[in-house]
Amino acid sequence: MTDGRSAASNKGMPLVRIVPETVPCECSVKEDADAGIHLAMDQIIEALTKPLSAEEQAPKRKERGTPSRIVFKGQLEELNRFFYKRGWGDGLPVLPPTEAAVREMLAGTDLPPEHVVGEIDPRHGKATVEKIAVNAVMAGALPIHMPILIACVAALADPRAHLGAYGTSTGSWMPFWIINGPVRNDAHVNSGSGAMSPGDIANAAIGRTMGLIVKNVGGARKAIEDMGVYGNPGKYSCVAGENEENSPWEPLHVEQGFAREESAVTLFFPNCYSQIWQYGSDDKGILGTLIYNLPPGRSGLTCLLMTPTQAKTLAQKGWTKPMIRKYVYEYGRVPAYRHPSFHDGGGWTGRSPETVPPNAMDSTAIVPSPDHVRVLVLGGPGAFMGLACGGGLPGGQFVTKKISLPSGWARLVAKYKSLVPAYERY
C-alpha cells in the first residue's frame, strides 16, 4: 500500500485508488492467486466504477514553501535524535552538516553547489553538488572523497544501473562500488587485506554517503519505497578498490574503456556475496572454485573476486580476464531438467539450453553471457575467493563513470594524507 501510494504520487496521481489484496508476492500457486483475486474483485470493480470525488478530480498540490537552511540547533545527541525521528539517518550516528562543514566538503570539487549531477530514482530527486556534500558530511566522509561521490551519483543516475528497480525491489539489492585509478591511493581506498570490512574511512563513508543519498535525495525509504523483504547489510557500505598494483591484468576501468591513468568508479547491484575456500592453489582448483559455487538461478551480473596470488597463478598459466569470463559462462552450468527456469527479472520465464561444452548437453548456463561477468583483483594473502552476484534485470550493465579531480587536488590530498589508522603494536 505505502509503496503503491508513493509511486502514484510520484507520477502525479496522489489520490489514485489502491485496492489491497491477499495474494502472496510472486505467487505461483494458482489456487491461492484465484482466491485472492476473488476476494478483491468487488473492491476493484467499485474502485473502477465509483464516480470521482471533487478532490480526486482536482487534487491540490501540497505547498511546502521554501525550506530553511538551518533546520536544527542543539547538542550532537539532540541533533541525532532529531534527524533519526525524521528518517534522515541510517540508524548510525550522523555528523551535523553545518554550513562550515558543507563548505569544507565542497572544496573537493570545482562544480558550483547548485549544479545537478543527476536525478535519483525512485522519486526523481535532484542530486545537486550541495546535497551530495550535505549527505557526505553526515556520513563522515572527507573532501577528498567528494570527486568519487560525484562520479558515484552520476553512475547511480545512469538508466543502465536500474536503480529504480533495484532500489525498491523486494530482492534487497546492494550497490557495489569498485574504485580504480590513482584516486584510490589519494583518498586511501583500501584494496588489500580486509578491503570489504569496516575500518577505512573511504570505503565506509563513500558507501554510507551513497546509501543516504539514495534515501534522502532519491526517496527510497525502507518499507515505503524500498520493499526489501530481508534488507541487505551491504547497503550500509560495499566499496572496494581494485588492487591494481598487484594484479597481472589490466584493471576494470580499462576494460570498461578508460585510460589506465584515469580514475573511475564502477557500479553494479548484486544481492548475494559469498566467500569460498579455494579447491586448490593451481589454475584448475581456482577456476573450479568459481564455476562450482555459482548459485543456480542467480543469472544476473556477477563479479568474481580473487586475490593477487590467485590472479598471478592464473596469469602464469596464460589465463586472461576475458578467458576467465568465457570459461565461467561456458562451464558454470546446472542440469537443465532440474532448473528449467531462471528468474530474469519481471517474472519467471523458461529458457532453452544454450551452446554447451562437450559431454554436458543436458545443462544450461547460470550466467547469460560472458558480458555479465567481471573479474576483480583485491584483498590480501589467503586462500579465499569471493562471488558477488544476483539475478538481475535484462539489459543490466556494469556502469563506469570517470572521476574528475578539482584544481588544487594535490593541496587537498596533502591536507588529509596523514588521516590513516596507526595501530599500536603489541
Beta bridge partners of 116: 128
Residues in the chain: 426
Residues 242-298 have pLDDT tens digits of 999 999 999 999 999 999 999 999 999 998 899 999 999 999 999 999 999 998 876
What's the pLDDT band for 112 if we cut at 50, 70, 90?
very high
* Residue 181 backbone zone (phi > 0: left; psi -120 to 50: alpha; other: beta): left
DSSP 68-109: PS----S-HHHHHHHHHHTT-S-SS------HHHHHHHGGG-
> Is 70 exceeded by the pLDDT of residue 340?
no
φ, ψ (nearest 5 deg) of residue 369: -165, 165
**Within 13 Å and on the Cβ side, how many CA atoms surround 394?**
8
User: Which pLDDT score, from 0 to 100, does residue 395 have?
Assistant: 74
What cell does 47 get?
Answer: 474502485
As a whole number, mean pLDDT of residues 367-372 equals 91
Question: In 3D, which of 207, 205, 209 has the Cα closest to residue 217?
Answer: 209
Burial class (CB within 10 angstroms; exposed 0-12, middle 13-18, buried 19+) of 406: middle
Query: Across the chain, what does the average pLDDT equal?
Result: 90
User: Which pLDDT score, from 0 to 100, does residue 136 have?
Assistant: 98
What's the pLDDT band for 348 if we cut at 50, 70, 90?
very low
> Is 70 exceeded by the pLDDT of residue 351?
no
Identity of the residue numbered 94: V
User: Which pLDDT score, from 0 to 100, does residue 337 have?
Assistant: 53
Cα dist from 308 to 248, 265, 379, 404, whole Å: 8, 20, 7, 28
